[in-house]
Amino acid sequence: MEFSADQIAMIIDARIEGNPAASVSSFGKIEEAVAGQLSFLANPKYEEHLYTTNASIVIINESFELKQPVNATLLRVEDAYSSFAILLNKYQELQTQQLSGIQQPSFIANTAVLGENVFVAAFSYISNNVKIGYNVKLFPGVFIGENVTIGDNCILHPGVKIYKDCIVGKNVIIHSGTVIGGDGFGFAPMADGSFKKIPQIGNVIIEDYVEIGSNATIDRATMGSTLIKAGAKLDNLIQVAHNVEIGNNTVIAAQTGISGSTKIGNSVMIGGQAGIVGHITIADGSKINAQSGVSKSIKVPESVVTGSPAYEYTAALRSQAISRKLPELEKRVKELEALIQQILLEKTSI
């Protein structure tokens, strides 16, 4: 697929500097791009490459001032990074829209209902009473359990497994190897020291415009629903336990674990390898630094915490600053102790 600067400018509302007929058919990093590719400049760190790039078209900020002549056609926009992201999404949509039909071998139960323009790749399995919306793309090895509902425009990458009764909204992307609706970790201790499994009879509800990375696991609720609200973005290798709620537009980085029945607010940001205990709440807009261990509720919105156990960010920085000075403080304490000891000896000798 080939697009001109004119056509791209219409999509991202850009002002053209250079040849409006310049065309591109792929994307490239500004330092590596070749003729026929489109690139962007958002980080000033890469400014030098703008003057040497072979890219045919480059998206830059409206406010950017050139210091040298540029060979590429420029598209000036309010925010180069977000405009480039819009184009990448459009490009991906065009690629996936070409996929349709049902490949063999695959299994689709007689009671399953599939919308128009659905793509079902080979080795997929669609169980009884499944409802799949318009323009859904299921890549090889996807398993859809009984009574699952999947909304319009969803993409399930290879090897995604969705257990029975779960609900997936519209425009959801789930990456390879992720499991939705596996049993929550529920076991009751018995008198003889063994553990008896507690049946997990709830489900998982994923609302619209959620994206979930590869090899994440979102457990079904014991009763009720584990809930991922609209616009949430989850990275790879995340564990979400039973009955957890994750708020709108919350983002969670890789290797985070969230224990059962915890409720995370809207627009929360959680760094990689964070651990969050069960049955607590995280206030809207909170930020949890990477490798933090959150052991109690964060009740004040917009809080920033760090450490394990996690506590208020600026207090943690002060503590870290003090801890770096501990060797010096130890030396001074020893000097003071020696001085005091000398004074005491002088007094006793008088």
- Residue 335: phi and psi, rounded to 5, are -65, -40
148, two tokens: 């699952």
- Tell me how far CA of residue 268 lies from CA of 201, 234, 293, in angstroms: 28, 12, 15
218, two tokens: 């979102």
| 49 classed as catalytic | no
Cα distance between residue 278 and residue 281, in whole Å: 9
Catalytic residue among 49, 157, 242, 279: 242
- Residue 35: phi and psi, rounded to 5, are -55, 140
Q: Is the peptide bond before 301 cis (omega within 30 degrees of 0)?
A: no
Contacts of 301 (CB under 8 A, 6+ apart): 265, 283, 284, 285, 286
Radius of gyration of the chain (CA): 28
Handedness of CA 6, 98, 40, 42 (dihedral sign): positive
- Tell me how far CA of residue 64 lies from CA of 45, 67, 71, 86, in angstroms: 13, 10, 16, 20
Residues designated catalytic: 242
